[in-house]
Structure 1
Amino acid sequence: MDACPENTRPLTGPREGRPRPRADGLRHRLTVRQTGKKRKPRPRRSFTPEFKGEIVELCRRGDRSVGQVAKDFDLTETAVRDWVKQAEIDAGERAA
Protein backbone atom coordinates (compact mmCIF):
# COMPACT_ATOMS: atom_id res chain seq x y z
CA MET A 1 0.00 0.00 0.00
CA ASP A 2 1.38 3.39 -0.95
CA ALA A 3 1.89 5.90 1.83
CA CYS A 4 -0.40 8.92 1.57
CA PRO A 5 0.96 12.39 2.22
CA GLU A 6 -0.03 13.58 5.70
CA ASN A 7 -2.49 16.20 4.43
CA THR A 8 -4.43 13.75 2.28
CA ARG A 9 -4.63 10.83 4.67
CA PRO A 10 -8.07 9.28 4.28
CA LEU A 11 -10.25 8.72 7.33
CA THR A 12 -11.88 5.34 7.64
CA GLY A 13 -14.19 6.31 10.51
CA PRO A 14 -15.31 9.40 12.37
CA ARG A 15 -12.58 9.11 15.02
CA GLU A 16 -9.82 7.27 13.23
CA GLY A 17 -6.67 8.96 12.10
CA ARG A 18 -5.89 12.62 12.40
CA PRO A 19 -8.36 15.42 11.84
CA ARG A 20 -8.63 16.63 8.28
CA PRO A 21 -6.76 19.86 7.59
CA ARG A 22 -8.85 23.02 7.63
CA ALA A 23 -9.63 24.66 4.31
CA ASP A 24 -7.68 27.77 5.32
CA GLY A 25 -4.55 25.69 5.88
CA LEU A 26 -4.37 26.34 9.63
CA ARG A 27 -4.14 23.55 12.14
CA HIS A 28 -7.19 22.70 14.19
CA ARG A 29 -7.69 24.29 17.57
CA LEU A 30 -6.33 22.30 20.44
CA THR A 31 -8.70 21.43 23.24
CA VAL A 32 -8.16 22.39 26.87
CA ARG A 33 -7.23 18.79 27.56
CA GLN A 34 -4.52 18.92 24.88
CA THR A 35 -3.02 22.25 25.90
CA GLY A 36 -3.65 22.22 29.64
CA LYS A 37 -4.64 25.89 29.39
CA LYS A 38 -8.06 27.37 29.99
CA ARG A 39 -9.33 30.46 28.22
CA LYS A 40 -10.16 33.35 30.49
CA PRO A 41 -13.89 33.82 30.75
CA ARG A 42 -15.37 36.96 29.29
CA PRO A 43 -16.06 39.53 32.00
CA ARG A 44 -19.71 39.56 33.00
CA ARG A 45 -21.57 42.46 31.48
CA SER A 46 -24.69 44.17 32.80
CA PHE A 47 -27.36 45.84 30.72
CA THR A 48 -29.93 48.45 31.62
CA PRO A 49 -33.63 47.61 31.48
CA GLU A 50 -33.96 50.20 28.70
CA PHE A 51 -31.35 48.44 26.55
CA LYS A 52 -32.99 45.07 27.12
CA GLY A 53 -36.34 46.58 26.16
CA GLU A 54 -34.90 47.91 22.90
CA ILE A 55 -33.44 44.51 22.08
CA VAL A 56 -36.77 42.80 22.84
CA GLU A 57 -38.58 45.30 20.62
CA LEU A 58 -36.18 44.59 17.74
CA CYS A 59 -36.92 40.87 18.12
CA ARG A 60 -40.68 41.43 18.21
CA ARG A 61 -40.70 43.46 15.00
CA GLY A 62 -39.92 40.28 13.12
CA ASP A 63 -37.63 41.72 10.45
CA ARG A 64 -34.60 40.04 12.07
CA SER A 65 -34.28 36.75 13.90
CA VAL A 66 -33.32 36.56 17.56
CA GLY A 67 -29.99 35.09 16.49
CA GLN A 68 -29.33 37.96 14.09
CA VAL A 69 -30.21 40.60 16.70
CA ALA A 70 -27.90 38.89 19.18
CA LYS A 71 -25.08 38.76 16.65
CA ASP A 72 -25.57 42.40 15.63
CA PHE A 73 -25.23 43.57 19.24
CA ASP A 74 -22.53 41.07 20.30
CA LEU A 75 -24.88 39.31 22.72
CA THR A 76 -25.50 35.65 23.32
CA GLU A 77 -28.60 34.25 21.70
CA THR A 78 -29.55 32.63 24.99
CA ALA A 79 -29.51 35.97 26.83
CA VAL A 80 -31.68 37.62 24.18
CA ARG A 81 -34.15 34.71 24.24
CA ASP A 82 -34.31 34.98 28.05
CA TRP A 83 -35.04 38.72 27.79
CA VAL A 84 -37.82 38.11 25.27
CA LYS A 85 -39.28 35.37 27.45
CA GLN A 86 -39.20 37.58 30.54
CA ALA A 87 -40.82 40.46 28.64
CA GLU A 88 -43.63 38.11 27.56
CA ILE A 89 -44.12 36.98 31.18
CA ASP A 90 -44.14 40.59 32.41
CA ALA A 91 -46.72 41.55 29.76
CA GLY A 92 -48.97 38.59 30.71
CA GLU A 93 -48.50 36.99 27.30
CA ARG A 94 -46.81 33.92 28.73
CA ALA A 95 -47.11 31.83 31.88
CA ALA A 96 -44.14 31.79 34.21
Structure 2
Amino acid sequence: MDTVLTHLTTVLTTKFEVPADLITPRSTLADLELDSLAAVELYVTLQEHWNVPLDDSEATPDRTVGEISRTITTLLPQREQPAAGDESG
Protein backbone atom coordinates (compact mmCIF):
# COMPACT_ATOMS: atom_id res chain seq x y z
CA MET A 1 0.00 0.00 0.00
CA ASP A 2 1.38 3.42 -0.89
CA THR A 3 2.00 6.18 1.64
CA VAL A 4 -1.03 8.28 0.66
CA LEU A 5 -3.43 5.34 0.82
CA THR A 6 -1.96 4.23 4.15
CA HIS A 7 -2.41 7.70 5.64
CA LEU A 8 -5.93 7.98 4.22
CA THR A 9 -6.82 4.65 5.82
CA THR A 10 -5.34 5.78 9.13
CA VAL A 11 -7.34 9.03 9.08
CA LEU A 12 -10.54 7.17 8.26
CA THR A 13 -10.06 4.67 11.09
CA THR A 14 -8.82 7.06 13.78
CA LYS A 15 -10.60 10.35 13.13
CA PHE A 16 -13.80 9.03 11.54
CA GLU A 17 -13.95 5.67 13.35
CA VAL A 18 -14.47 3.68 10.16
CA PRO A 19 -13.75 -0.03 10.70
CA ALA A 20 -10.51 -0.87 8.88
CA ASP A 21 -12.02 -3.95 7.25
CA LEU A 22 -14.49 -1.73 5.34
CA ILE A 23 -11.77 0.39 3.75
CA THR A 24 -10.60 -0.68 0.30
CA PRO A 25 -9.58 1.40 -2.74
CA ARG A 26 -13.06 0.70 -4.18
CA SER A 27 -14.95 1.82 -1.05
CA THR A 28 -16.97 4.96 -1.61
CA LEU A 29 -17.44 7.57 1.06
CA ALA A 30 -21.08 6.46 1.17
CA ASP A 31 -19.97 2.85 1.76
CA LEU A 32 -17.97 4.13 4.73
CA GLU A 33 -21.04 6.03 5.99
CA LEU A 34 -19.41 9.45 5.80
CA ASP A 35 -22.02 12.17 5.41
CA SER A 36 -21.31 15.29 3.37
CA LEU A 37 -19.95 17.22 6.35
CA ALA A 38 -17.59 14.37 7.29
CA ALA A 39 -16.44 14.07 3.67
CA VAL A 40 -15.53 17.77 3.56
CA GLU A 41 -13.78 17.43 6.93
CA LEU A 42 -11.81 14.48 5.51
CA TYR A 43 -10.72 16.59 2.53
CA VAL A 44 -9.66 19.46 4.81
CA THR A 45 -7.69 17.05 7.00
CA LEU A 46 -5.92 15.59 3.97
CA GLN A 47 -5.19 19.05 2.51
CA GLU A 48 -3.57 20.11 5.77
CA HIS A 49 -1.50 16.93 6.08
CA TRP A 50 -0.25 16.79 2.49
CA ASN A 51 -0.31 20.56 1.82
CA VAL A 52 -2.18 20.07 -1.46
CA PRO A 53 -5.17 21.99 -2.85
CA LEU A 54 -8.07 19.54 -2.81
CA ASP A 55 -11.41 20.71 -4.18
CA ASP A 56 -13.89 19.89 -1.42
CA SER A 57 -16.72 20.09 -3.96
CA GLU A 58 -15.37 16.71 -5.11
CA ALA A 59 -16.04 15.24 -1.64
CA THR A 60 -19.15 13.46 -2.87
CA PRO A 61 -20.62 10.18 -1.60
CA ASP A 62 -19.62 8.34 -4.79
CA ARG A 63 -15.89 9.20 -4.52
CA THR A 64 -13.79 6.15 -3.77
CA VAL A 65 -10.86 5.87 -1.41
CA GLY A 66 -8.70 4.98 -4.42
CA GLU A 67 -9.79 8.07 -6.35
CA ILE A 68 -9.01 10.32 -3.41
CA SER A 69 -5.61 8.69 -2.97
CA ARG A 70 -4.78 9.07 -6.68
CA THR A 71 -5.86 12.71 -6.65
CA ILE A 72 -3.54 13.49 -3.73
CA THR A 73 -0.68 11.55 -5.32
CA THR A 74 -0.95 13.55 -8.55
CA LEU A 75 -0.89 16.83 -6.60
CA LEU A 76 2.22 15.98 -4.59
CA PRO A 77 5.54 17.40 -5.73
CA GLN A 78 7.61 14.91 -7.73
CA ARG A 79 10.10 14.47 -4.89
CA GLU A 80 7.38 12.97 -2.68
CA GLN A 81 6.04 10.59 -5.30
CA PRO A 82 7.68 7.21 -5.75
CA ALA A 83 9.45 7.15 -9.10
CA ALA A 84 8.85 3.95 -11.04
CA GLY A 85 12.12 2.46 -12.17
CA ASP A 86 14.11 5.36 -10.77
CA GLU A 87 17.60 4.21 -9.88
CA SER A 88 20.24 6.56 -8.66
CA GLY A 89 23.90 5.85 -8.88
Scaled by the length of structure 1, the TM-score of the pair is 0.28
| Structure having the larger proportion of residues in helix | 2
Q: Which has the higher contact order (CA 8 A, sep 6+)?
A: 2
> Greater CA radius of gyration, 1 or 2?
1
